[in-house]
């Protein structure tokens, strides 16, 4: 297969970036998208150029490191698929493919296609945990949790923290990301104790990082590689209201 790649190149956060065009020949349909970029980089390096910087690690769709904006969509054209799971057989021979980093002011570009997602970390520091010390846990089965609740909690917890929801959103909102954690904890007995403080603090941090609000286009759910549901945003809003109405303590 042959492709024309238009890739965003930017030397660092302060530099001005732009698209550069790279024709690429002899691409196998069996290659993953990132293997295709490896293949490009090998040619760039051997030709004396600097390779394209992009981030990745597990290459099996679970670590959340990779995240490219491909032809105007986070993680490319396939639903429920991370960039590393995307394969070139999904493209047509001769296609032009635009590759950009996540676009959001809360995710500043580091270099080329790599962005800084530490804002997500700070949202988690604000309340993404259950305050229990090592050694004080009761016997696991002393707190039964119905299968449907446990399964729903799992669905929320499946978030990989890649940032596709933010990149997909016209407001660069991080609500899907934050709500998945808030909802996961709010629905289980272990997490309920701190639910009011948690939602308040995580939402506050989300705003402080410069993420936008939700305007219900559902693009986040549509482009989430793990299919996290926007229902959790509704849960978060409910939790937030509950926290405001009934106070954070008690």
Partner 1 sequence: MIKLDSKIPDGPLAEKWTRYKAGLRLVNAANRKKIEIIVVGSGLAGSSAASALGELGYKVKVFCFQDSPRRAHSVAAQGGINAAKNYKNDNDSIHRLFHDMIKGGDYRAREANVYRAAEVSNDVIDHFTALGVPFARDYGGSLDTRSFGGVQVSRTFYAKGQTGQQCLLGTYSSMNRQIAKGTVEMFPRRDMLDLVVVDGKARGIITRNLLTGGIERHSAHAVVLATGGYGTVFYLSTLGLGSNASAAWSAYKKGAAFANPSFIQIHPTSIPVLNDYQCKLTLMSESLRNDGRVWVPKEKGDKRQATEIPEEERDYYLERRYPAFGNLVPRDVASRAAKERCDAGYGVGDTGLSVYLDFKDAIKAQGEQAIRDKYGNLFEMYEKITGINPYKQPMRIYPAGHYTMGGLWVDYDLMTTIPGLFAIGESNFSDHGANRLGASSLMQCCGDGYFILPNTISDYLADEIRTGKIPVEGKAFDEAAEAAAEKVRRIMAVKGKQTASAFHKRLGKIMWDHCGMRRDAEGLEKGLGLLDELEKEFWNDICVPGSENDYNQELEKALRIADFFEIGRLMCEDALQREESCGAHFREEHQTETGEAKRNDAEYAYVGAWEYQGAENKPKLHKEALKFEFVEVKERSYK
> How many binding residues for partner 1 (CB under 8 A)?
77
Cβ proximity to partner 1: between 42 and 244 the closer is 42
d(CA 34, CA 75): 11
Contact status: 61 vs partner 1 (CB under 8 A): yes
Of 198, 165, 164, residue with least CA distance to 181: 198
Contact status: 55 vs partner 1 (CB under 8 A): yes
Q: Which stretch binds partner 1 (CB under 8 A): 98-106, 109-117, 166-174, 209-217?
A: 109-117
Tokens of 150: 């446990």
**Orientation of helix 175-186 relative to helix 147-157, angle to 10°:** 150
Contact status: 213 vs partner 1 (CB under 8 A): no
Contact status: 50 vs partner 1 (CB under 8 A): yes
Annotate each residue in 139-158 with x if it binds partner 1 (CB under 8 A) or - if it does not, as one string: xxx-xxxxx--xx-xx--xx
Match 């559902």 to its residue by tokens. 218
Q: How many CB atoms neighbour CB 174 within 10 A? A: 29
Annotate each residue in 68-107 with x if it binds partner 1 (CB under 8 A) or - if it does not, as one string: ----------x-xx---x-x-x------------------
Site for partner 1 in 172-201 (CB under 8 A): 184-185, 188, 190-191
Q: Provide, rounded to whole angstroms, the least separation between the CB of residue 136 and partner 1.
A: 7
Of 220, 212, 7, residue with least CA distance to 104: 212
Q: Out of 68, 113, 160, 165, which residue is the one contacting partner 1 (CB under 8 A)?
A: 160
d(CA 108, CA 114): 9
Q: Provide, rounded to whole angstroms, the least separation between the CB of residue 84 and partner 1.
A: 8
d(CA 65, CA 75): 11
Q: Are 164 and 223 in contact (CB under 8 A)?
A: yes
């Amino acid at each position: 297969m042959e492709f024309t790649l238009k890739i965003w190149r930017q030397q660092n956060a302060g530099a001005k970036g732009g698209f550069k065009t790279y024709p690429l020949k002899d691409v196998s349909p069996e290659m993953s998208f990132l293997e295709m970029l490896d293949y490009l980089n090998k040619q760039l390096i051997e030709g004396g150029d600097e390779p394209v910087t992009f981030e990745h690690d597990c290459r099996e769709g679970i670590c959340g490191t990779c995240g490219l904006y491909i032809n105007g969509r986070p993680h490319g054209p396939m639903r429920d698929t991370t960039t590393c799971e995307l394969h070139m057989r999904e493209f047509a021979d001769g296609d032009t493919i635009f590759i950009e980093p996540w676009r959001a002011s809360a995710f500043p570009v580091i270099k080329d296609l790599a962005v800084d997602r530490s804002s997500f970390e700070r949202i988690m520091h604000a309340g993404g945990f259950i305050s229990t010390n090592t050694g004080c846990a009761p016997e696991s089965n002393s707190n039964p949790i119905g299968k449907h609740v446990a399964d729903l909690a799992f669905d929320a917890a499946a978030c990989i923290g890649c940032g596709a929801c933010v990149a997909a959103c016209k407001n660069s909102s991080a609500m899907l990301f934050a709500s998945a954690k808030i909802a996961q904890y709010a629905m289980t007995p272990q997490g309920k104790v701190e639910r009011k403080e948690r939602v308040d603090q995580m939402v506050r941090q989300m705003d402080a990082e410069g993420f936008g609000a939700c305007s219900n286009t559902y693009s986040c759910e549509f482009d989430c590689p793990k299919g996290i549901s926007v229902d959790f945003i509704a849960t978060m809003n409910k939790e937030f209201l509950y926290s405001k109405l009934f106070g954070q303590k008690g």
